[in-house]
Amino acid sequence: MYIITGGAGFIGSGFVHQLNRMGTEDILIVDNLGSSEKWKNLVNLRFTDYLHKDLFLPSLIKGSFSGIESIIHMGACSSTIEKNADYLISNNFHYSRDLARYCRANNIRFIYASSAATYGDGNLGFSDDHDHINKLKPLNMYGYSKQLFDLWVKKQGLLYNVAGLKFFNVFGPNEYHKEDMQSVVRKAYFQIKNTGKVRLFKSYHPEYGHGEQKRDFVYLKDCLEVMAWLVERRNVNGIYNLGSGEARTWNDLVKAVFQAMDIEPVIEYMDMPEELRGKYQYYTRGPMEKLEQAGCPLKFNSLEDGVRDYVQNYLSREDPYLG
C-alpha cells in the first residue's frame, strides 16, 4: 500500500494519477477536503480509501495499517501568505516530523515535499548541497516551516534514509482549488480568455525590467516522473532541488500561454502590493546536477511545451483533471 498525504491536492493527486498509470491502485489518500473543491481532483483517480489528516496520524501510530510500501508526504499548508505561524509549524513541521519518525522506526520509504521558498531572496544561492541547508534564510513563514523540517531531518541523521524535494514553481492540472496560489499559467489563461490581455507585477529592482523577473518554472508531469523514479529507488536519499534547471521570465511564461491559445500577446504591468515588495523573489533557478548525479534521467519539457500541453489538453477542455 502507498499512502499519499495531501493526496487530494495539486501534486499529491497528480502522484495518485502517476501510480495509477503504473498499475497501482492500493492507495490511501490522506487530506482535509473540508468545503473546498479538492474533491474534484479525485473523481478520475483509483484508490482504496480516503482518511482525514487529523484521524490518520493517530491511526498510523496505533498500527492500524499494514503492508505500507511508501509514504509520500505532500500534505502541508502551501500558502506563502499564511500568517498563522503556530498553524504552519504544527501542520508543516510537527506533523512531518511525526511521520518521518514512524517511517524510520518501521523501515518505510519516506518522500516529502520541501520547497524552493526555503532559499529566501536567493542571495545565498540555490544549492541543494546538504552543507548549505543551515545557511538559508526564508522570506516568509511558509518557507521557514519547510526549512525547520529540512533542518530537523539533517540533525536527526535522516538525510540517508529519506528523500526530500525542494519544488520550484510547479504548474499543471489539478491546481484549480488553490485560489490565489494557482500558477500564473492558469490565471493568465482566464485573463486572456476574458479580457484578451495579461497583467503582471511591475519590477522594483533596477536589474530587472517589468515582467523580466525570473523563476524556475517546472511542469507537474515532469515532477511526477521524478517522484516515481524516487519511489522505486530506496537507496537514493537526501534533499534535492526539483525544478527545470532554467530561469525564465514572467514575460516568457505568459507569452507561451498566448502562443498556446494562438493569440497575439498583450501584457500590462501593475503595481505590486506594498506587503509583498520586501518578500518578493526576483530570481530562482534550481540547479539539478545533484539529482542527475544520483542517476535520475532528467528529460523535462521546455516551458513552451509544458504550457502548451496544460493549456490545450486540460485548461481548454470540459474535464481539465488528470485521470
Give the pLDDT of residue 315. Answer: 98
Distance (Å, rounded) from C-alpha 234 to C-alpha 102? Answer: 16
pLDDT tens for 245-272 read 999 999 999 999 999 999 999 999 999 9
Q: Is the pLDDT of residue 80 over 80?
A: no
| From 40, 53, 154, 178, the catalytic residue | 178
Q: What angle do CA 144, 35, 180 make, to 5 degrees?
A: 45
Kindly state the helix (H) or strand (E) to which residue 256 belongs, with its residue range: helix 250-260
Residue 150: band (very low, low, confident or very high) from pLDDT cuts 50, 70, 90 = very high
Asked if residue 209 belongs to a domain, the reply is no
Percentage of residues in the chain having pLDDT higher than 70: 100
Domain assignment present for 197: no
Q: Which helix (H) or strand (E) holds 76?
A: none
Give Cβ neighbours of residue 44 (< 8 Å, ≥ 6 apart). 17, 319, 321, 322, 323
Q: Strand, helix or coil at 184?
A: helix
Number of domains in the chain: 1
For strands 248-249 and 214-215, give the pairing: antiparallel
Q: 160: pLDDT confidence band, cut at 50, 70 and 90? A: confident
Share of the chain above pLDDT 90, in %: 88
Which residues, 6+ apart, have CB-to-CB distance to 147 below 8 Å?
118, 133, 136, 138
Determine the Cα–Cα distance for residues 255 and 297; give it in Å rounded to an integer: 28
* Rounded distance between C-alpha atoms, residue 53 and residue 147, angstroms: 22
Yes or no: say if 223 and 259 are a contact pair by the CB < 8 Å rule: no
- Dig out the grid coordinates for 261 from the structure: 491559445
Q: Which residues pair with 243 in a beta bridge?
A: none
Structure-block grid coordinates of residue 75: 500534505
Among residues 2, 112, 142, 240, which one is catalytic? 142
CATH number at residue 240: 3.40.50.720
Residue 89, C-beta contacts closer than 8 angstroms, at least 6 positions apart: 145, 148
Looking at residue 50, its pLDDT comes to 98
Hey, is 105 helix, strand or coil?
A: helix
What's the confidence (pLDDT) of residue 146?
96
87 belongs to the catalytic site: no
Q: Is residue 261 assigned to a domain?
A: no
Task: Tell me, yes or no, if 197 is annotated catalytic.
Answer: no
Q: Identify the domain containing residue 122 by its residue range.
A: 2-171+217-245+282-301
- Predicted confidence at residue 264, as pLDDT, reads 97
Q: Residues 154-158: what's their mean pLDDT?
A: 92
**What's the rounded Cα separation, in Å, for the pair 208 and 249?**
10
Q: Collapsing DSSP states into helix, strand and coil, what is residue 52? A: strand
Convert the pLDDT of each residue in 194-231 to its tens digit. Answer: 999 999 999 999 999 999 999 999 999 999 999 999 99
What is the average per-residue pLDDT within 135-152? 94
Could you tell me if residue 151 is inside a domain? yes
Q: Provide the pLDDT for residue 242.
A: 98
Q: Indicate if the pLDDT at residue 114 is higher than 80.
A: yes
| 217-219 vs 70-73, strand pairing mode | unpaired
Q: Does any domain span residue 250? A: no
Range 113-137 average pLDDT: 94
Of 176, 171, 198, 314, the C-alpha closest to 264 is 198
| Helices and strands (H and E) in the chain: how many | 11, 13
CB atoms within 10 A of CB 98: 14
Give the span between the Cα atoms of 105 and 107, in whole angstroms: 6
The residue written with cell numbers 502562443 in the block is 259
